[in-house]
Amino acid sequence: MKRFTPLVPVALAALALASIVLAQQPTPATLRTPAGDRPIAAVQMSGQTYFSAGDVIAALGGTVTSDGNGFKATLNNVTAAFGPDSRFGVVRDDLIEMAAPPAVIDGKPYVTWQFFQGFLSRATNNEAVWDPVTRVLQVRPAQRDQITAQVSVANIQGISKIVLTFSGSVEYGIVKQQGMYTILFRTPIRPPFAEQAFEDPYVQKLVFNGNELRIQLTAPDVVGDAYRLENPFRIVLDLRKGAPVAPGQLPVTPSRPVEQPGIHTIVIDPGHGGKEVGAIGPAGLMEKDATLIVCRKLAAALSNKLGARVVLTREDDSVVSLDQRTSIANQYKADLFLSVHMNAAVVKGAHGSETYFLSLDASDELAKKAAEAENAASAGTQPTATSDLKLILWDLAQQEYLNESSRFAQAIQEELNRASGVQNRGVKQAPFKVLVGATMPAALVEIAFITNPEEESKLKKDDFQNLMVDAITRAVQRYKTDYETRIGIIQPPTPATPPAATTTTAAKRTGT
Ligand SMILES: [Zn+2]
């Protein structure tokens, strides 16, 4: 919990306040399971309903225990870690996004219903559905008529990784042919697309046809390893040129070729979309809509003022998975990735912006637990060391850019604070899944608190949107100038030796 140390006093004050207000509004709810109905403790706060995590998980046969500053929920040997300082819980190598951070009342954790949905879908074959009208939290078998498949392709540390994620387990076989792999599915699946080309060193295109997936490679000497991971069920193909690399020996080649050093391509990621609406303001403004409006303006400003090539991960109200978002950035060989969100708070009056970057270090304790659970689940199908290595590959991709990501996040936070004149909420580190796997400096910004009525109404106004867009544009410009100066394409580097990490990153990014 190292990452939250500077925030502890704020968090404690916030919790004390939340506890008082929350305690005044107990609003019981019903937990409905196949075993019957039972009352559960629930409280109402800032338009959100919070349920006692202990009540619900115990009713399902699991446990919730306190763990340092946070909590641990365990069910069917699957453990989720969560705490009042983040609206993201961690289960295995995955994140559970909640509408608001958990609250703590009398030492017990209260969470919004998304926690149960996220946890149960990974620990059981059940799903959780909350009906605010009847106040029934229903836990029922997941209603999946057909198994869906999602695809992500990214080149990390010289390995092209194809990850097929399924909504259930599938039977399959893999056939290697000249310049091609074919996966034959013996379980019917619903493919995400018929055909898609990729800008990847080894993967040319993926074609779903009936019960098979053809993976067309760019060259006949591309070789691969295939393996599966559970919870969710995934088939992973690691592709590279020539002789196989022994586990533990990651190639030290640059992650991707950089034709032109400097910041030229920027991928902007409007958070959420489609049925994933994100946080909702008291007057009904949805995060997915607010982020799209701001990101469209930001894309226009960045391409006009910086002459950058700007790509949006979604241009309309569509669902884009977290994996896909960084995949898009990797495919476009982006030099910067920025995910844009709106914040939600338990405490009334929370306002201002927050900028995050991904830190493996900070998430160590949670990530370790996640990896342990995953290894326990997949033990027997592969050596532990190997699966460990595969699991952290995605994190390694971003770790290489941590120093740059932190500078980028810092520039954004400073410009936003200056523009809005609000208190410095500071740059934070957190295991945001949307930043995992990005092979470029990446940050996530929570522009304003959509749950704060004042900020919600500001978010709808042109002048506030423009103020935020101008501030972020200035920040990108600042970071670009700073970075390009450091790698010596604006002016030669000074004789004084910059910090070692900076030198390494710059050298890798110019391909020397
Ligand atoms: Zn969000």
pLDDT band, very low/low/confident/very high, at 203 (cuts 50, 70, 90): very high
Q: What is the CA radius of gyration of the chain?
A: 23
Ligand 1 geometric centre to CA of 298 (Å): 17
What pLDDT, in 10s, does the model give residues 452-508?
999 999 999 999 999 999 999 999 999 999 999 888 877 644 544 444 433 333 333
Among the ranges 97-106, 367-376, 403-412, which has the highest mean pLDDT value? 403-412
For the four alpha carbons of 113, 115, 116 and 121, in that order, the dihedral sign comes to: positive
| 3-state SS class at 288 | helix
Ligand 1 geometric centre to CA of 343 (Å): 7
Ligand 1 geometric centre to CA of 387 (Å): 30
Ligand 1 geometric centre to CA of 266 (Å): 20
Q: Do 128 and 39 meet the contact criterion of CB atoms below 8 Å apart?
A: no
For the four alpha carbons of 456, 461, 467 and 470, in that order, the dihedral sign comes to: positive
Instruction: Give the mean pLDDT of the chain.
Output: 77
How far, CA to CA in Å, does 477 sit from each of 52, 305, 345, 421?
Answer: 46, 9, 30, 20
pLDDT band, very low/low/confident/very high, at 416 (cuts 50, 70, 90): very high
pLDDT at 93: 67
Ligand 1 geometric centre to CA of 454 (Å): 18
Ligand 1 geometric centre to CA of 296 (Å): 16
pLDDT at 464: 96
Q: Using DSSP, how many helices (H) and how many strands (E) does the chain show?
A: 11, 29
| Lookup result for tokens 């295109």 | 205
| Lowest-confidence segment of 240-249, 309-318, 389-398 by average pLDDT | 389-398
Q: Would the pLDDT of 219 be above 50?
A: yes
Ligand 1 geometric centre to CA of 320 (Å): 13
pLDDT at 267: 95
Ligand 1 geometric centre to CA of 3 (Å): 20
Ligand 1 geometric centre to CA of 179 (Å): 40
Ligand 1 geometric centre to CA of 272 (Å): 6
| Lookup result for tokens 């930001």 | 298
Distance CA 459, CA 448 (A): 8
Which helix (H) or strand (E) element contains residue 21? helix 8-23
Burial 221-243 (b: 16+ CB within 10 A, else e): ebbbeeebbebebbbbbbbbeee
Distance CA 400, CA 508 (A): 9
Q: Would the pLDDT of 415 be above 60?
A: yes
Amino acid at site 246? A
Contacts 24+ apart (CB under 8 A), 81-88: 81/365, 81/366, 81/369, 81/370, 82/53, 82/109, 82/111, 82/115, 83/1, 83/109, 84/11, 84/15, 84/109, 85/1, 85/4, 85/7, 85/11, 86/4, 86/430, 87/344, 88/430, 88/431, 88/432, 88/433
Distance CA 510, CA 500 (A): 16
Distance CA 286, CA 131 (A): 19
Among the ranges 52-61, 68-77, 122-131, 186-195, which has the highest mean pLDDT value? 52-61
Q: Which residue intervals of 40-199 are DSSP H helices?
A: 53-59, 114-123
Ligand 1 geometric centre to CA of 123 (Å): 24
Which among 158, 163, 166 is positioned nearest to 200, based on CA atoms? 158
Ligand 1 geometric centre to CA of 276 (Å): 9
What mean pLDDT is predicted for residues 376-399? 38
Q: Would the pLDDT of 407 be above 50?
A: yes
Helix axes 500-510, 402-420, angle to 10 degrees: 100
| 3-state SS class at 388 | helix
Structure letter (DSSP) for residue 441: -
pLDDT band, very low/low/confident/very high, at 434 (cuts 50, 70, 90): low
Instruction: Give 85's Cβ-side CA count (13 Å radius).
Output: 23
Ligand 1 geometric centre to CA of 4 (Å): 19
pLDDT at 394: 44
Which helix (H) or strand (E) element contains residue 154? strand 147-156
Q: What DSSP letter does each residue of 297-341 carry, written as one string?
A: HHHHHHHHHH--EEEES-SSS----HHHHHHHHHHTT-SEEEEEE
What pLDDT, in 10s, does the model give residues 328-344?
888 888 999 999 998 88
Q: Would the pLDDT of 245 be above 70?
A: no
Ligand 1 geometric centre to CA of 304 (Å): 27
Among the ranges 49-63, 195-209, 324-338, which has the highest mean pLDDT value? 49-63
pLDDT at 398: 63
What mean pLDDT is predicted for residues 120-131? 86
Ligand 1 geometric centre to CA of 142 (Å): 24
Q: Do 74 and 62 meet the contact criterion of CB atoms below 8 Å apart?
A: yes
Distance CA 272, CA 399 (A): 24
| Entry pTM | 0.47
Ligand 1 geometric centre to CA of 205 (Å): 31
Ligand 1 geometric centre to CA of 278 (Å): 5
